[in-house]
Structures are given as C-alpha cells and as structure tokens.
C-alpha cells in the first residue's frame, strides 16, 4: 500500500471515509443529512462517500422518511463483521454476539459465584463465546473484536484489574490478556460503569445524545461519563469514581480507605444492613425494591434516602460536566420513581439552576443488559481504521 502524505487528497479522503463509517457504526443507522450534521462534512461529500461504501458492500442504503420527507437511511452491512461482548457482573456472566448493523444475534447469561477464581471465570467465558458464535453460525475469524466488562477499575499502564468489591479474588489479574490468549481475538476491556454508559448511549436511554452520565448503583457505585460522544476515562482510567466523593468526613470507613463516601451510604451492603433487623431472611436489593413497590414503608424510606444521597453526587456531576441526561442503572434503578424523584429533588436543591434546568434524570432502558451491549459498542468505538476501511479498500480494489 502506498504511503499517504498527511494532508494529501487521498489521506483526506480516507479520514472522511472513517468519519462517516464511525458515525454510522455508533448510531446503527443514519440518514445522509444526519451524517452530514454529525460529521460536519458537506452533503455532496457524504453522498459521494456513501455511494463508494455502498458499491464496496460496506453499507446498505434503504428508503425511509425523516420529518415527513423521503430520506435514505445508511447502515453497515450485516456481514461487515461480527463483534462479541462479555460482561462479568456480581452474580452473572453474560455474553452477546452482534453485527455492525447493531443486531444482537445471540445472547446468554449464566449465574456466577463471587468466589469463582479468575481462571475458572475466563474458562467459562471462552466456552460461552465459542458456543454462541456456533449458534449464530459464525466462524471465529469473522470476529472483529471482543469487548470485555469487569466490575472494577483497570490500571491504564499495566492493564491490571484494581480492587473490586464484587470479585475480590480477581484483584491484579490481567483481564485483556487472559481472554485474548484463550480466544485468539483482539480484546478491549473496560469497567462496568463505562460500558453501561456506552450501552445506554448506543442502544438505550442516551441515544442521540453527546453528553451524559450513567450512574450505576449496585454493590459498588460508579459512573461512566460521555463527553462529546466519547467515554471520558482520564489519564489513569479512574474518571467517574462518583462512589468515592465524600458526603460525611466522620462517616463509615469505605473500602477505599476514606470515610463517608457516597458508596458507604448507598451501596447494597449498607442498604441491606439497615433493613436486616426488621426483615428476617435473605434480602437482596431486588427484593427490597419489590417490597417497596408493594408498600413496605421501611424499604421505601431506605430507597428514598439512598435517592437523596445519589442526588447529591448527581448534583456535583451536573455542576462539573453539565450533562444533558443522567441515566440511573444497576439494581436500584428498578425502583423507578421511588428512587428517581428523590434524586431529582436533591439535584434541584444542590445543583446550580442553569445546569439543572437542562438536565433530565431517567432510568436506563437496558437493565442488566446495559454492560454487555456496551461491550459490543466498545468494539465498534475502538475498532478505528483497521477493520472496516481495510475491508472497503480491498473490496473496492
């Protein structure tokens, strides 16, 4: 392949091609006008690029209507490549196989014990990926990449999993290498909160938005921040650790070593402890939500108080980032208005009015699938030039 001089006609063309492909890949399908708006390219340039991509079989174009007018929607061809998502949660291992046209072709979830070793966990993930690829009828060499979700922070420099409240024996393992060695595929890894944010951005309650925050409240508390359509991770990969903002300097000691972090007031262990004395038997957060919806006053109070505290964190996010939407995920989100309404009250109390006015606080629409769908979206977002363009160039040659 000839080397392109930066700024030359052909490198500019390739850059434009990649911008169009990326916009379509992340949205699932777009009209040509939407592509032009999203990429800043002229209508004529978009039209030429779409024609070229259609001729090479990379995209398909279908008639649709937009605002009552006829339009043409562009999406990636279903056989442009396969992506795989793997999500390790606190009680489950979930795997999905999808294509670049945003269709999920196979998906399964299995229960997993919190004391499972990393070796056993990755062995099971390998078996599930192979089984689901078989079910969907694809050979492993059709897979462009695998997105992997882990319930804890990933050290950007070493790739090691940091301290996690959910899979305690896994601290220090290298998730990307573990799975990539087993599958022989390129693996991209991220934490559950970032993947939940990506999932809701691409498939759920955040579709079409460029700026949002996803707050996940379960055993741990974290957030994924989307700024200008991209996950913001920070140089160390720890951006969004909203669970560890201090609400009370003299509060309980947190697993991070500080005191009175948000997580110590709304994490599931704390909430369940509050209810243990009056609710004999094994309680889970889902069960608490169910009891609250049936009118149990103690459970309603605990959820409402948690909402107020989450709202203090949400107000801080709102002041710092001015997101358009805050999406609540995790087990507590199942409580709907019982938790959302106190969150909104806190936001209107603690956030500056001009930022709070533009903000909506909503539940995620994907539930427990947010992370695994976010893992599929992670591959689409990280694949960059390598996959689709090479295929296009080859097909066009």
Candidate residues 21, 84, 261, 343; the one interacting with Zn ion per rule CB under 5 A: 261
- The CA distance from 250 to 104, in Å, is 48
- Are 236 and 156 within 8 A, CB to CB? yes
- Give the single-character DSSP code of 242: G
**Between 101 and 262, CB nearer to Zn ion:** 262
Q: Which is nearer to Zn ion, 169 or 252 (CB)?
A: 252
CA-to-CA dists, residue 142 to 98, 145, 183, 186, angstroms:
11, 9, 13, 12
69-76 vs 212-217, strand pairing mode: unpaired
Task: Return the residues of window 80-139 that contact Zn ion according to CB under 5 A.
Answer: none
- From 141-149, 243-251, 270-278, 332-340, give the range in contact with Zn ion by CB under 5 A: 243-251
Q: Between residues 258 and 293, which has the closer beta carbon with respect to Zn ion? A: 258
Q: Give the shortest CB-243-to-Zn ion separation in angstroms.
A: 6
10 or 171: whose CB is closer to Zn ion?
171
Q: Helix, strand, coil shares of the chain as percentages rounded to 5?
A: 45, 20, 30
SS3 at position 324:
coil
Residue range at the interface with Zn ion (CB under 5 A); choices 32-40, 76-84, 179-187, 239-247: 239-247
* Residue 29: alpha-carbon gap to chain centroid: 19
Q: Pick the closer one to Zn ion by CB: 19 or 244.
A: 244
* Binding-site member from 254, 266, 288, 379 for Zn ion (CB under 5 A): 254
CB 260 to Zn ion: min, Å: 8
Q: Is residue 164 a contact point for Zn ion (CB under 5 A)?
A: no
Minimum CB separation of residue 263 from Zn ion in Å reads 5
User: Residues 104, 256, 272, 304: which binds Zn ion (CB under 5 A)?
Assistant: 256
Fill in the per-residue mask, 361 to 380: x = in contact with Zn ion (CB under 5 A), - = not in contact.
--------------------
Please give the size of the binding site for Zn ion, defined by CB under 5 A. Answer: 5
Dihedral sign for Cα atoms in the order 11, 16, 21, 22: positive
| Vertex 201: Cα angle to 196 and 207 (nearest 5) | 145
Based on CB atoms, which residue is closest to Zn ion, 109 or 258? 258
Which of 25, 244, 300, 325 forms a contact with Zn ion (CB under 5 A)? Answer: 244
Residue spans of alpha helices (H) in the chain: 9-27, 32-39, 43-55, 118-136, 175-183, 192-203, 262-266, 268-276, 285-293, 297-321, 337-350, 353-357, 370-382, 386-396
Task: Identify which of 118, 124, 208 has the alpha carbon closest to the alpha carbon of residue 169.
Answer: 118
Q: For Zn ion, which stretch binds (CB under 5 A), given 111-119, 254-262, 288-296, 312-320?
A: 254-262
Taking residues 4 to 43 in sequence order and writing x for each that binds Zn ion by CB under 5 A, - otherwise, the string is: ----------------------------------------
Given the rule CB under 5 A, which residues bind Zn ion?
A: 244, 254, 256, 258, 261
């Amino acid at each position: 392949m000839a080397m392109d001089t930066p700024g030359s006609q052909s490198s500019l063309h390739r850059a434009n091609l990649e911008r169009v492909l990326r916009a379509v890949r992340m949205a699932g399908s777009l009209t040509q006008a939407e592509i032009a708006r999203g990429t800043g390219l002229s209508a004529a340039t978009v039209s030429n690029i779409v024609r070229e991509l259609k001729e090479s079989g990379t995209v398909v174009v279908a008639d649709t209507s937009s605002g009552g007018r006829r339009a043409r929607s562009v999406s990636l061809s279903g056989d442009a490549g396969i992506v795989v998502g793997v999500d390790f949660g606190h009680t489950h291992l979930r795997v999905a196989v999808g294509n670049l046209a945003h269709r999920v072709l196979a998906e399964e979830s299995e229960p997993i014990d919190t004391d499972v070793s990393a070796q056993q966990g990755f062995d099971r993930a390998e078996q599930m990926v192979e089984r689901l690829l078989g079910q969907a009828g694809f050979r492993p060499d059709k897979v462009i990449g695998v997105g992997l979700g882990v319930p804890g922070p990933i050290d950007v420099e070493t790739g090691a999993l940091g301290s996690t409240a959910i899979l305690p024996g896994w601290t220090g393992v290298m998730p990307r290498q573990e799975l990539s060695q087993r599958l022989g595929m390129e693996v991209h890894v991220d934490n559950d909160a970032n993947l939940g944010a990506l999932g809701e951005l691409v498939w759920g309650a955040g579709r079409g938005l460029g700026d949002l925050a996803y707050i996940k409240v379960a055993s741990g508390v974290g957030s994924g921040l989307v700024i200008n359509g991209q996950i913001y991770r920070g140089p160390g990969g720890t951006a969004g650790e909203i669970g560890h903002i201090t609400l009370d300097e003299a509060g309980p000691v947190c697993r991070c070593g500080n005191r009175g972090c948000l997580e110590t007031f709304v994490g599931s262990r704390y909430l369940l402890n509050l209810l243990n004395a009056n609710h004999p038997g094994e309680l889970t957060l889902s069960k608490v939500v169910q009891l609250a919806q049936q009118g149990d006053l103690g459970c309603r109070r605990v959820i409402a108080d948690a909402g107020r505290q989450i709202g203090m964190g949400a107000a801080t996010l709102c002041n710092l980032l001015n997101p358009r939407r805050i999406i609540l995920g995790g087990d507590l989100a199942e409580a709907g208005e019982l938790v959302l309404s106190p969150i909104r009250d806190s936001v209107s109390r603690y956030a500056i009015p001009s930022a709070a006015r533009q903000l909506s606080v909503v539940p995620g629409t994907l539930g427990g699938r947010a992370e695994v769908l976010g893992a599929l979206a992670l591959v689409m977002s990280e694949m960059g030039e390598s996959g689709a363009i090479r295929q296009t160039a080859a097909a066009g040659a």
